[in-house]
Copies of this chain bind each other. A is one copy, B any other.
């Protein structure tokens, strides 16, 4: 079990481009990519906040405590 970042799912569902989200949040596409791929060890609340704001969702939609997964949506 681990925290899984579901940003990729959220973006796909809403057909939002990483570039646009990155721009809105105020981080680089590179760093957003890392976050999407679950390659960061944590997140700052202001970043999380901006993402929720842009995607009009809750942290719970982006973060899940679940089985380590290879690739399922």
Contacts and interface: CB of A to CB of B under 8 A. Distances in A.
Please state the number of chain copies in the assembly: 2
Interface string A14-49: 000000000000000000000000001111111111
Contact of A1 (B43, B44, B49): B49
A1 to B, nearest CB: 7
Contacts of A40: 45
Contacts of A12: none
Contacts of A61: 60
Interface of A: 1-3, 40-49, 52-53, 57-61, 63-65
What 8 A-B pairs come out closest when comparing CB atoms?
Answer: A60-B60, A42-B44, A59-B63, A52-B65, A3-B45, A3-B49, A41-B44, A3-B48
